[in-house]
Amino acid sequence: MDYKKLADLLFPDVTLTKEDLEARYPKRELKDGAIVTRFAPSPTGFLHIGSVFTCLVADNFAKKSGGVFILRIEDTDQNRKIENGVKLIIQGLNRYHINFDEGVDVDGNDYGNYGVYTQSQRKDIYKAMAKYLVSIGKAYPCFCDEETSQRDKAIQEASKELIGYYGSYAHCRNLTYEEVEENIKAGKKFAIRLKCESNADHKIVVEDAIRGTLKLSDNFNDVVILKRDFLPPYNFAHACDDHFMRVNLVIRGDEYIPSIAEHLQIFNALGFEPIKYAHVAPMQKMEGNSKRKISKRKDPEANVAFYLEEGYPVDGVREYLLNVANSNFEEWRKANPDANIDDFVVTTDKMSKSGALFDLPKLNDVSKNVISKFDAQKVYDLCLEWAEQYDKEFASILKENKDYAIKVFSIERGTPKPRKDIAKWNETKSAFGYFFKELYKPTCLDDYAFNYEKFNKELLKKIVDKYITIYQQETENSIWFGKIKELGVEFGFADDMKVYKANPEQFVGHYGDVASIIRVAITGKANTPDLFQICTLLGYEEVIKRLKLASEILSN
């Protein structure tokens, strides 16, 4: 068979050659160990938190090794495409400080020397390489229709044979030139299949950067590499794109592990160097006592939009994701509490083979820590940015009281043990709302976290009423606190802890209880930062107003 002639018959218009492409996309000049990798989303617009995770890892590999991180758009499946899908994905990733060295920008323009970076615009490359394979006798046209493959499949299932296009089921593998020509003249459409030279008994061994040594059954199937519409399925686009973009590490989901053998056969047939893989297991979460993968359908936290709406700061999410990416992150963070997160080097050997375990309470902890290290201005800016989107009322209060709000966020901040009260901006209002007149609106006893079991409301009211008569805006915390103790003594509370502990039954309570009563009367809350600082910030009139309101509600 004259394969060149066959190739020209199938692809009369294709003049681009493998040599042309090898020259157009030369090997990259890289320093030793530099990793060239890519993120290759379909433009569905949906950005899974697992994708952000994988991108953070891939970006870290590329940047730390002096390599390249590429964005490639895999849009050959037109059904999954949505308008603005690419833009949404890029914007989502940019928020997490993931920027690509090459790829497509938000306006759909290419940048980089190994483009174009959108698969639907690379058809000439796929056709050229399919033609090349036909011309060297490694691929052939298949005219079988859906009906034939359904029928074969039914036979294979019934006789418990392997499902696929191989052996006697590979009907078109040995067509003569004349038969092919006749089919084409009759207007029959064809796909291109790779001639498989292996079988299912053969095993291959692959070193995966994350999974380690994988032993897999070889591919036995004459797989389609170009569909009837001349668009490539994933396998062929993967080989052509990753080779000509000179990628040297494919980081992708582990659902592709069963196809590795097929992919490497395609690389081999094309005369490409085999590529290295790092297969990432999907993120897991606990459900009861078992782990399962985070599902786009079931779990709101699968979608990055969730983190935006809840108001998780970007730094908190990034810190958390690196935390679950590498088991040694926590140790690193302990040793370098103030280091920039970008200084951490992610390694494949410290990644989980079975999938990073994602857990919201842990994210909250990490995020609280991250926020506790922000200065008050940053808390203000980020919280306002969130509120402008998701809580307009709170946003306008923050804007109208900017200096005051920054003072509020400054309480106990910048100290060696800063407060860790919020994990995300949607908690700010409930954590700090009582500082703002506009938001502090108790109307009934339930709005006050008094310990009603220990102290009845008559006593509470008496204490509050008395405090109204003696309260003054003090400049010294110790003087202010001394007055609280005195107030307690008047109502039978101990002003000395040791004395109280020796004979608790002789007292109504101790001075801590009194402070707590005053705290609740002024803020509604049992837990707040330093009450003296709160009173100072609120100012004399507001404190008195609040005490009077508490007294009134206590008398109902």
Which positions touch Zn ion (CB under 5 A)?
142, 144, 171-172
Please state, in angstroms and rounded to a whole number, the distance separating the CA atoms of residues 69 and 404.
Answer: 44
Residue 238 binds which entry of Zn ion, ligand GLU, none, CB below 5-8 Å type-dependent: ligand GLU
Supply 216's token pair: 């897999």
Considering beta carbons, is residue 61 or 169 the nearer one to Zn ion? Answer: 169
Residue 142 binds which entry of ligand GLU, Zn ion, none, CB below 5-8 Å type-dependent: Zn ion
Residue 232 CB, shortest distance to ligand GLU, in Å, is: 12
Number of residues binding to ligand GLU, judged by CB under 6 A: 7
Residue 333 binds which entry of Zn ion, ligand GLU, none, CB below 5-8 Å type-dependent: none
Residue 145 CB, shortest distance to Zn ion, in Å, is: 9
Considering beta carbons, is residue 153 or 171 the nearer one to Zn ion? Answer: 171
Please state, in angstroms and rounded to a whole number, the distance separating the CA atoms of residues 285 and 374.
Answer: 29
Binding status of residue 74 toward ligand GLU by CB under 6 A: yes
CB 14 within 8 A of CB 133: no
CB 247 within 8 A of CB 37: yes
Considering beta carbons, is residue 183 or 369 the nearer one to Zn ion? Answer: 183
Please state, in angstroms and rounded to a whole number, the distance separating the CA atoms of residues 134 and 128.
Answer: 10
Considering beta carbons, is residue 165 or 507 the nearer one to Zn ion? Answer: 165
DSSP string, 17-38: -HHHHHHHSPPP---TT--EEE
Which position among 37, 42, 326, 523 is part of the footprint of ligand GLU (CB under 6 A)?
42
- Give the residue carrying structure tokens 């297991």: 281
Considering beta carbons, is residue 256 or 480 the nearer one to ligand GLU? Answer: 256
Binding status of residue 141 toward ligand GLU by CB under 6 A: no
Residue 346 CB, shortest distance to Zn ion, in Å, is: 46
Residue 72 CB, shortest distance to ligand GLU, in Å, is: 8
Supply 526's token pair: 């049992």
Residue 74 binds which entry of ligand GLU, Zn ion, none, CB below 5-8 Å type-dependent: ligand GLU
Binding status of residue 381 toward ligand GLU by CB under 6 A: no
Considering beta carbons, is residue 279 or 318 the nearer one to ligand GLU? Answer: 279
Name which of 363, 357, 547, 347 is nearest 461 in CA terms.
547
Residue 181 CB, shortest distance to ligand GLU, in Å, is: 36
**Distance from chain centroid for Cα 223:** 34
Residue 232 binds which entry of ligand GLU, Zn ion, none, CB below 5-8 Å type-dependent: none
For 343, residues 6+ apart whose C-beta sits below 8 A from its C-beta are 336
Binding status of residue 252 toward ligand GLU by CB under 6 A: yes
> What are the two backbone dihedrals, phi and then psi, of residue 212, each rounded to the nearest 5 degrees?
80, -150
Name which of 488, 480, 491 is nearest 514 in CA terms.
488
Residue 463 binds which entry of Zn ion, ligand GLU, none, CB below 5-8 Å type-dependent: none
Considering beta carbons, is residue 260 or 543 the nearer one to ligand GLU? Answer: 260
Name which of 487, 471, 451, 446 is nearest 542 in CA terms.
471
Please state, in angstroms and rounded to a whole number, the distance separating the CA atoms of residues 23 and 3.
Answer: 24
Please state, in angstroms and rounded to a whole number, the distance separating the CA atoms of residues 258 and 425.
Answer: 43
Please state, in angstroms and rounded to a whole number, the distance separating the CA atoms of residues 112 and 355.
Answer: 32
CB 223 within 8 A of CB 262: yes
Considering beta carbons, is residue 144 or 463 the nearer one to Zn ion? Answer: 144
Residue 172 CB, shortest distance to Zn ion, in Å, is: 3
Residue 172 binds which entry of ligand GLU, Zn ion, none, CB below 5-8 Å type-dependent: Zn ion
Please state, in angstroms and rounded to a whole number, the distance separating the CA atoms of residues 452 and 456.
Answer: 6
- Long-range contacts of residues 509-516, Cβ cutoff 8 Å, at least 24 apart: 509/454, 509/455, 511/484, 511/485, 513/451, 513/454, 513/455, 513/488, 514/463, 514/484, 514/485, 514/487, 514/488, 515/481, 515/484, 516/451
Binding status of residue 77 toward ligand GLU by CB under 6 A: no
Q: Which region among 37-45, 86-94, 418-426, 476-484 touches ligand GLU (by CB under 6 A)?
A: 37-45
Considering beta carbons, is residue 96 or 140 the nearer one to Zn ion? Answer: 140
Residue 237 CB, shortest distance to ligand GLU, in Å, is: 9
> SS3 letters for 55-87?
HHHHHHHHHHHCCEEEECECCCCHHHCCCCHHH
Please state, in angstroms and rounded to a whole number, the distance separating the CA atoms of residues 187 and 194.
Answer: 22
Which position among 122, 193, 238, 285 is part of the footprint of ligand GLU (CB under 6 A)?
238
**Touching ligand GLU, residues 507-546 (CB under 6 A):** none
Pairing assessment for the beta strands 36-39 and 191-194 based on DSSP bridges: unpaired
Residue 144 binds which entry of Zn ion, ligand GLU, none, CB below 5-8 Å type-dependent: Zn ion
Binding status of residue 122 toward ligand GLU by CB under 6 A: no
CB 425 within 8 A of CB 381: no
Q: Which amino acid is at 411?
A: I
Binding status of residue 40 toward ligand GLU by CB under 6 A: yes
Which position among 41, 67, 92, 115 is part of the footprint of ligand GLU (CB under 6 A)?
41
Q: Which region among 38-46, 374-382, 514-522, 523-531 touches ligand GLU (by CB under 6 A)?
A: 38-46
Considering beta carbons, is residue 189 or 291 the nearer one to Zn ion? Answer: 189
- The contact set with ligand GLU (CB under 6 A) reads 40-42, 74, 238, 252-253
